[in-house]
Amino acid sequence: MSGAKRIVMLCGYRIFPPSTGGHVHSTTIARALARLGHDVLVYCLAGRREDYTEAGGFSRTPRRVQIEPGLVEETNLGPLYGALQTVSRRLGMPRVGQFELLRRGLVPARLREELRRADIIVCDFPFCPPVPGPWSSKPWFMISHELEFKLFRQGSRLERRFAGWMERVERAAPGRYRDIFVCAQEDRDFFRAQDPAGRLKLPYIRCGVDSKMYVAAPGARERVRAQLQLGDDDWLVVFSGSRYGPNLDALAELREFCRAEADFLAAQRIHLLALGSMVAAPERAGAFIATGPVPEVLPYFAAADIGLNPITRGSGSNVKLFEYLVARLPVISTVFGVRGTDLQPDVDYLPYEPQSLRAALERFVQSRSRAQWRQHADEVLARHFRSCDIQELVRDAVAQRPEFGP
């Protein structure tokens, strides 16, 4: 591609393959930039537990993986950031230490080499501030997934203690970066208020996904439903998520709902599937089924009849919602759960609040057949494709920034 740029995407820790909604957002943006013809290096400051186990501990040799043409992920396995991440996770602390090291320029030599070579640096989350050095004059951008300080205010006692610090970091972000790619109107309004001169464009990159990766293999639906011991007349409602505070809150409510409404769910042959790492291991209790961590979610989406988004708190927008849409699943969601989208209640999704889930499920199973719901899901995706597909979202966003052009 004429005018291709060398882009370094700076991440706190390894993001491929994605294990959280934030990872999905980050990895799909990286893929989209590479597919636009840019040369993209995702540089991760720390690895996952298995990376250090495979390396026999901390290592000076980074983990380097070619993800696809034009896209490489390199993970630093050195002791400084690795130990810092371990301590932070065990204490349940935000990445304060990582932020402080980066802003002081205490980074691995390999990152310094890549910053020298880069045309553009994209920082994933506000925990990755620009690194001082001869590359400071290069264009630095930030990806905003949500307003982190608002999430901290709703989190654990320790996270609440750092909410003020996080708010100061995010208020300073408009002055640190050439621009910020925002995911929802909420963070756009917040960063605009910190930029009174209007220097930033604040392009949208909503939490879209790679629609091409959500086409299930033939027979996936039948195979997974057989594994789950579901018949053709059973309805499967899927709730996908990681061990993220708002997900865990919603999961606890769904468990209670399954206990309280056991007779109703059995009579209607409705099963609720908690998909992903919200639960540590597979389990089953009446209508409630949990998978635990899975290598891929797509076969379970294929097995499902509808996607459920029960989230009632948090910030930003929910990646799971866009996954449901591109997997061609109809959606039941709280009104809060569709924030950051253009979806209309009763037109594009079935709205509900926690106290009215039973009524929403009754409406779902009684108002349309499975074939009619599939047709409905196809129509919703057609209406909202450009706001769901990450390639379209990234293309539109970077078109607003001349740094990415020829």
* Per-residue pLDDT reduced to its tens digit, 179-191: 999 988 889 999 9
| Mean pLDDT value across residues 221-235 | 96
31 vs 66: CA distance, rounded Å: 12
b vs e for 141-151, b when ≥16 Cβ sit within 10 Å of the residue's Cβ? bbbbbbbbbbb
2 vs 395: CA distance, rounded Å: 16
Closest to 107 in 3D by CA, of 133, 87, 72 = 133
Domain encompassing residue 248: 213-388
Q: Are residues 144 and 229 in the same domain?
A: no
Angle at CA 294, nearest 5°, toward 291 and 295?
165
206 vs 184: CA distance, rounded Å: 6
Q: In total, how many domains does the chain have?
A: 2
Q: Which CATH number is 295's domain given?
A: 3.40.50.2000
Residue 312: inside a domain, yes or no? yes
Residue 49: inside a domain, yes or no? yes
DSSP 406: -
275 vs 287: CA distance, rounded Å: 14
Looking at the chain, the number of H-run helices and the number of E-run strands are 17, 14
pLDDT confidence bin for 387, thresholds 50/70/90: confident
| Mean pLDDT value across residues 363-372 | 96
Task: List beta partners, residue 290.
Answer: 274, 283
Residue 400: inside a domain, yes or no? yes
Q: Is the pLDDT of residue 342 over 80?
A: yes
Q: Are residues 129 and 273 in the same domain?
A: no
pLDDT confidence bin for 2, thresholds 50/70/90: low
Q: Is the pLDDT of residue 319 over 90?
A: no
Q: Are residues 121 and 251 in the same domain?
A: no
CB-based contacts of 48: which residues, under 8 Å, 6+ apart?
A: 13, 14
Q: Are residues 201 and 350 in the same domain?
A: no
Q: Are residues 36 and 50 in the same domain?
A: yes
Q: Are residues 246 and 158 in the same domain?
A: no
Residue 1: inside a domain, yes or no? no
Lowest mean pLDDT among 180-184, 240-244, 286-290: 240-244
Q: What is the distance between the terminal CA atoms of the chain, rounded to a whole angstrom?
A: 9
Q: Are residues 253 and 166 in the same domain?
A: no
Per-residue pLDDT tens over the stretch 78-132 = 999 999 999 888 888 888 999 999 999 999 999 999 999 999 999 999 999 999 9
Q: Is the pTM above the cut of 0.75?
A: yes
CB-based contacts of 137: which residues, under 8 Å, 6+ apart?
A: none
Q: Are 238 and 301 in contact (CB under 8 A)?
A: yes
Residue 353: inside a domain, yes or no? yes
Lowest mean pLDDT among 16-25, 286-295, 330-339, 367-376: 16-25
165 vs 99: CA distance, rounded Å: 11
Q: Are residues 339 and 397 in the same domain?
A: no
Q: Are residues 235 and 186 in the same domain?
A: no
Helix (H) or strand (E) holding 369: none
Closest to 325 in 3D by CA, of 274, 363, 367, 378 = 378
Q: Are residues 384 and 394 in the same domain?
A: no
Residue 247: inside a domain, yes or no? yes
